[in-house]
């Protein structure tokens, strides 16, 4: 189940067909409303934040994205705690701060500590999710992009592997029809990837920015 930590809250999307179940802090927020195959934008309110749940195509399957203020929030496997800053702590990453020309006293007070690396943060230096510093957020974003790319090729790869297996089996046991089915399966995967890719491109072009 995909999950996002936003401020003090945890948002989770369960994609068991036929409808999405959206949980906020483990309580059902929305169910029986959004079909799992339907793509589109669904505005949600998480604490004080306006959050956009976006269902987009990933070749052949729909995928969930969470956007805040036009920024895509990387999900996290486990909840990220909203940490309190140390007493009298200042923002440790403020521009012109620790490494800069300003006196430490001129640094704004820390309002929270990053849920990942615990660095003290003022509100402007926290990422849009309100739990991470910007550098931990960016690192998670890079991981999200990598995971999305892997997910994309997993399905088609499996299809091709199965097709190849059937094809080899057909050849080995001299069953031409079986070999033919294996080949056809590989071609079909290719066609599906092509169609999925074309749809994905068209939808991305028509989608407004969140
Ligand atoms: Zn700051
Ligand atoms: Zn951090």
**pLDDT tens, 82-135?**
999 988 899 999 887 555 455 555 789 999 999 999 999 999 999 999 999 999
For strands 112-113 and 2-6, give the pairing. unpaired
In the reported structure, the alpha carbon of residue 107 is separated from the centroid of ligand 1 by a whole-number distance in angstroms of: 7
In the reported structure, the alpha carbon of residue 71 is separated from the centroid of ligand 1 by a whole-number distance in angstroms of: 19
Instruction: Please state, in angstroms and rounded to a whole number, the distance separating the CA atoms of residues 21 and 37.
Output: 13
**Is the CB of residue 56 less than 8 Å from the CB of residue 70?**
no
pLDDT score recorded for residue 66: 97
In the reported structure, the alpha carbon of residue 96 is separated from the centroid of ligand 1 by a whole-number distance in angstroms of: 9
Ligand nearest to C-alpha 119: 2
pLDDT score recorded for residue 104: 53
C-alpha torsion 103→107→112→114, nearest 10: -60
Instruction: Please state, in angstroms and rounded to a whole number, the distance separating the CA atoms of residues 122 and 111.
Output: 5
Angle of helix 176-206 relative to helix 134-172, nearest 10 degrees?
A: 160
Mean pLDDT of the region 2-31? 94
pLDDT score recorded for residue 177: 94
Q: Which two tokens stand for residue 112?
A: 């929270």
Instruction: Please state, in angstroms and rounded to a whole number, the distance separating the CA atoms of residues 5 and 130.
Output: 8
Q: What percent of the chain clears pLDDT 70, i.e. is strictly above it? A: 96
In the reported structure, the alpha carbon of residue 93 is separated from the centroid of ligand 1 by a whole-number distance in angstroms of: 6
In the reported structure, the alpha carbon of residue 129 is separated from the centroid of ligand 1 by a whole-number distance in angstroms of: 15
Q: How confident is the model at residue 164 (pLDDT cuts 50, 70, 90)?
A: very high
Ligand nearest to C-alpha 122: 1
Domain positions in the chain are 2-77, 81-128, 146-206
In the reported structure, the alpha carbon of residue 114 is separated from the centroid of ligand 2 by a whole-number distance in angstroms of: 5
**Is the CB of residue 26 less than 8 Å from the CB of residue 98?**
no
What CATH number matches the domain at 2-77, 2.120.10.30, 3.40.50.1360, 2.40.128.180, 2.40.180.10? Answer: 2.40.128.180
> How does pLDDT run across 64-88, given as a tens digit for each residue?
999 999 999 999 999 999 999 988 8
Q: What is the pTM of this model?
A: 0.82
104, with CB counted inside 10 A (0-12, 13-18, 19+), is exposed
Ligand nearest to C-alpha 136: 2
């Amino acid at each position: 189940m995909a999950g996002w930590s936003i401020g003090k809250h945890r948002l989770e999307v369960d994609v068991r067909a036929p409808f999405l179940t959206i949980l906020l802090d483990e309580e059902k927020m929305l169910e029986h409303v959004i079909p799992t195959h339907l793509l589109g934008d669904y505005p949600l309110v998480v604490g004080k934040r306006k959050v956009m749940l976006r269902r987009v195509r990933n070749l052949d399957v729909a995928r969930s994205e969470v956007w805040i203020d036009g920024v895509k929030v990387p999900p996290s496997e486990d909840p990220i705690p909203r940490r309190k800053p140390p007493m009298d702590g200042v923002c440790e990453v403020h521009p012109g701060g620790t490494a800069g020309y300003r006196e430490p006293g001129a640094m704004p007070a820390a309002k929270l500590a990053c849920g990942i690396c615990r660095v003290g943060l003022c509100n402007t230096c926290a990422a849009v999710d309100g739990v991470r510093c910007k550098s931990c957020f960016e690192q998670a974003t890079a991981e999200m992009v990598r995971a999305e790319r892997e997910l994309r090729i997993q399905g088609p790869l499996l299809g091709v592997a199965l097709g190849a297996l059937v094809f080899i089996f057909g050849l080995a046991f001299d069953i031409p029809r079986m070999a033919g089915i294996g080949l056809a399966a590989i071609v079909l995967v290719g066609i599906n990837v092509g169609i999925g890719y074309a749809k994905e491109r068209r939808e991305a072009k028509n989608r407004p920015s969140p």
